[in-house]
Amino acid sequence: MKENAGVEDALATVGAVCWTIQIVPQIIKSYRSKSTLGLSANMMACWAASSMPFSSYIVTSQLSIPLQIQPHVFGFLCAVSWSQCLFYGHHYSRLKAGACLLGFLALWAGFETGSIYALRAGERNGTTAPLQFYGPEYWEIYKLGQVIGISLIFMAIDISGGIFSFLSLFFRNSLDIAAFVSYALVVLLDGIVVVLAFILNPRAERRRLRLEESQNIEGHRPRELTHLSMSGGHTVIDMPPINATASSSDKYSVIVPTYNERKNLPIIVWLLAKTFETHGIAWEIIVVDDASPDGTQEVAKQLAGIYGEDKVVLKPRAGKLGLGTAYVHGLGYCTGNYVIIMDADFSHHPKFIPEFINPGQSNATNALVVRRQQKLHNLDIVTGTRYSPVPFPAPPRGSPRPELGPGGVYGWDLKRKLVSRGANYLADTVLSPGVSDLTGSFRLYRLAVIRDIISRCTSKGYVFQMEIIVRARSLGYTVGEIPITFVDRIFGESKLSGNEIVGYAKGVGQLWWGV
């Protein structure tokens, strides 16, 4: 096609404007609502970071000025939105969130300056391979994030930007193949997302309407469940009838799944009993043991004799049947109206339970005060987080602040930390669950809520914890977080295996498709 600089600049300008303004509505919305709930901070960080190599590529290729401006403005706006996520969603201070933004911009400036000089030096020496590498590969990664939480209006603007930028290349004296492929991929990938939206969104809407019809509009009350289907409906588990005479005052049932926890169980029960008694909280512990060969059940029976059979309740099973089914089994014997699920290996310390119930009042001994404060945010689920410094939702202004420090992990090697962080990053990017720690299992639930959620779950193993939160969000239940410190087990070995890791990645994809 004949070279025409005017047409090239005009088309490139329209494309640049489309790609520049698409983030502005999100920034304004986050600022006005003072919330980034449902917006993935990791996604915005990836988009901002991917502008670094692409901006270097565009400048070095000397494409039209509007196309050179676009990735810089877009990357800057994504970085601003990312800092909003840190401030509103992860509760960073203004100073810390601003420092993160400035640090990223400084890193970007240094990276781009060095890249441009290096790429131009390569061109002068007849080497163009690095330049080709900078373009389509990073740009494709940059665009793949658009399957997450993006409106059709956003996608339409993005596709328009790709089309106009794509057309502008035909009015240059030579066609830039890397840019040609990049812009074509934008239109193609965005088009696939739009098609999927028209297919999947109606399904999701029908599912939402069915769920609304099934919920009791007067509040969350236990459903009459006698059978629960797990593992995609292939295993049906009988669930004992609910105790209809349970006390109307708040009582907390702790479900502790065990397998070879003979050494740990006496200590964790003692810590739980001391915590509950100190804070005047009614309690019981349901020990669900999967036929441990180390004598765990014998220890549980001895503990029931010490603390009382109404306080320590052993409900064994015939074999190692899985974590999700252990919860279902334990739920059938809960007499409290709240359920706490935790590990028996000291990874989850009972000292955090008062914070779950009543952040900032962990020294309170008045049970009535505890009960009133627990309903302050009317949360259905409170989950412990290893990766957030402050609770969510934050305590009201003027109320006592939590005494416990920020979350963290102790006793793990680098490999296990990377696996955990990577798992949460993957889930946050793909599923946008609205919590900072999706793989943790230290949680408090309303009894009716956890029964409702589990009745719909299909996963097994470590994916089960993730599915609970994802389904809770889809059902409209409210979820809060409390920072905890996670300490690696003292006795025994971790049950995390390579198969669990593979299954987790598979489970993320299944939840994205089916929930």
Side-chain half-sphere of 309: how many Cα atoms within 13 Å? 2
Report the alpha-carbon distance of residue 20 to residue 76 in Å, rounded.
10
| Alpha helices (H) in 308-413, listed in sequence order | 323-331, 353-357, 367-374
Torsion, Cα 36 37 43 44, to 10 degrees, reads: 0
CA 121/CA 118 separation, integer angstroms: 5
The reported pLDDT for the residue numbered 378 is: 73
pLDDT of amino acid 139: 35
Q: Are 400 and 360 in contact (CB under 8 A)?
A: yes
Can you tell me the distance from the alpha carbon of 58 to that of 50, in angstroms, rounded to the nearest whole number? 13
Within 8 A by CB and 6+ apart from 117, the residues are none
CB contact burial 301-325 (16+ within 10 A = b; e otherwise):
eebbeebeeebbbbbbbeeebbbbb
- Please say whether the beta carbons of 226 and 241 come within 8 A: yes
Half-sphere exposure for 435 (CA within 13 Å, toward CB): 29
Name the CATH superfamily, with its identifier, for domain 227-514: Spore Coat Polysaccharide Biosynthesis Protein SpsA; Chain A (3.90.550.10)
- The pTM is what? 0.52
Written as tens digits, the pLDDT of the chain (515 aa) is: 455 555 555 655 665 566 566 678 788 888 888 888 767 787 788 878 878 877 777 777 776 677 778 788 888 998 999 999 999 888 888 899 999 999 999 998 988 888 777 766 655 655 544 444 444 333 333 333 333 444 556 567 667 766 776 677 676 666 666 566 666 766 776 666 666 566 655 655 555 555 555 444 334 433 333 333 333 333 333 333 333 333 347 899 999 999 999 999 999 999 999 999 998 899 999 999 999 999 999 999 999 999 999 999 999 999 888 778 888 999 999 999 999 999 888 888 999 898 888 754 444 444 333 333 345 567 899 998 888 766 666 555 444 444 445 667 777 778 777 888 787 778 777 777 778 888 888 999 999 999 999 888 887 766 888 899 989 988 889 888 888 888 775 554 555 555 666 777 787 777 877 77
User: What residues contact 125, with CB distance under 8 A and at least 6 apart?
Assistant: none
Tokens 């404007």 found at: 17
C-alpha 166: how far from its chain's center? 35
Distance (Å, whole) CA 327 – CA 362: 27
Q: Give me the phi and psi of 224, to 5 degrees please.
A: -80, 90
Count other C-beta atoms under 10 Å from residue 456's C-beta: 15
d(CA 56, CA 42): 22
| Omega before residue 359 within 30° of 0, cis | no
Q: What's the pLDDT score for residue 269?
A: 96
CA-CA distance, 238 to 476, in Å (whole number)?
27
Tokens representing 415?
Answer: 């490999």
Four-CA torsion 35, 39, 43, 44, nearest 10 degrees: -40
Q: Where are the domains of the chain?
A: 5-208, 227-514
Q: Which residues neighbour 264 within 8 Å (Cβ) at sequence distance 6 or greater?
A: 344, 345, 346, 489, 490, 491, 492
